[in-house]
Amino acid sequence: MLNDKVDVEIYGRKMTLEMDGMTQLELSAIAKQVDGLMREIGRESKIVDSSKLAILTAIEIAADLQKLKARMEDLDKFEGQKVDGMIVDLEKTVESD
């Protein structure tokens, strides 16, 4: 089971992370992404309060996740329509034989 603990630093705060199904390398990479996003949002917004930056970062990540889920739903719908079309084409081909 993958649930290794890893020490990371995000926006100057050190912490130990552990998440089921995640390796130390994956957790470190995610922590680095969060740190980078917090720093980017801090630069752009001029907010220095780390709590506010953490909230804005969480909202940014949640919004990205929502967009990704919507894309996946659209893709699933498109693939379903494509499969349905292929089934109709196959049925026509079988019927014409």
Give the separation between CA 48 and CA 37, rounded to whole angstroms: 14
Which of the four pLDDT bands, split at 50, 70 and 90, describes residue 85?
Answer: confident
Query: What mean pLDDT is reported for the chain?
Result: 91
Task: Tell me which residue range forms the domain holding 18.
Answer: 5-96
Q: What's the burial of 38, exposed, middle or buried (CB within 10 Å: 0-12/13-18/19+)?
A: buried
How many domains does the chain divide into? 1
Is residue 97 over pLDDT 70? no
pTM attached to this predicted model:
0.72
C-alpha dist (Å) from residue 4 to 12, 16, 32, 49 = 22, 10, 17, 30
pLDDT the model gives residue 2: 63
